[in-house]
Homo-oligomer: A and B are copies of this chain.
Amino acid sequence: MMLKIGALASLAGVSRDTLRFYEKHGLITPDTRTDSGYRLYSETDVYRISFILSAKEVGFTLNEIHQLLELEVTKDDKSCHDVKQFVDNKIQVVNQRLGEMEKIKQSLKTLSNACCGGDEPATHCTILGALSVQNR
């Protein structure tokens, strides 16, 4: 069953304008159009949108997401190799961000614990204090 733009938008939790914007930038295209020009999407496009949103949330740009979505391995071994390179590189990026995020989380936790009745000295009662505890 095909979805019109408003239906997809509300299922995916984005605005119609956003869908048209993503289309303009190559992130999604309607499967087809009605005779009158209405966009028709397939239901699986909901997952496509939710992938875009997840990827955006963790810091990928629409451009990078576009590249990720474009990845299609052909029979050609060379292009397969290129894809693997690209993906492995993104995995490294993700790993690095995971690390940064863990550091920040620990700082926030230190701050939260120290500042309301914890045993940590008051010098940790700022983010930078908490951070320097982590890096100690």
Contact = CB atoms under 8 A, between A and B. Distances in A.
A71 interface: yes
A91 B73 contact: no
Contacts of A51: 127-128, 131
Residue from the set A44, A47, A90, A108 with the largest chain B CB neighbour count within 10 Å: A108
Contacts of A59: 57-59
**In the assembly, how many copies of this chain are there?**
2
Given A100-B57, A108-B87, A127 B69 contact: yes
Contact of A80 (B48, B69, B116): B116
Interface residues of A, number: 46
A83 interface: yes
A115 B84 contact: yes
Interface in A65-88: 68-69, 71-73, 80-81, 83-84, 87-88
A126 B91 contact: no
A48 B128 contact: yes
A54 interface: yes
5 contacts: A59-B59, A87-B108, A88-B112, A91-B105, A98-B105
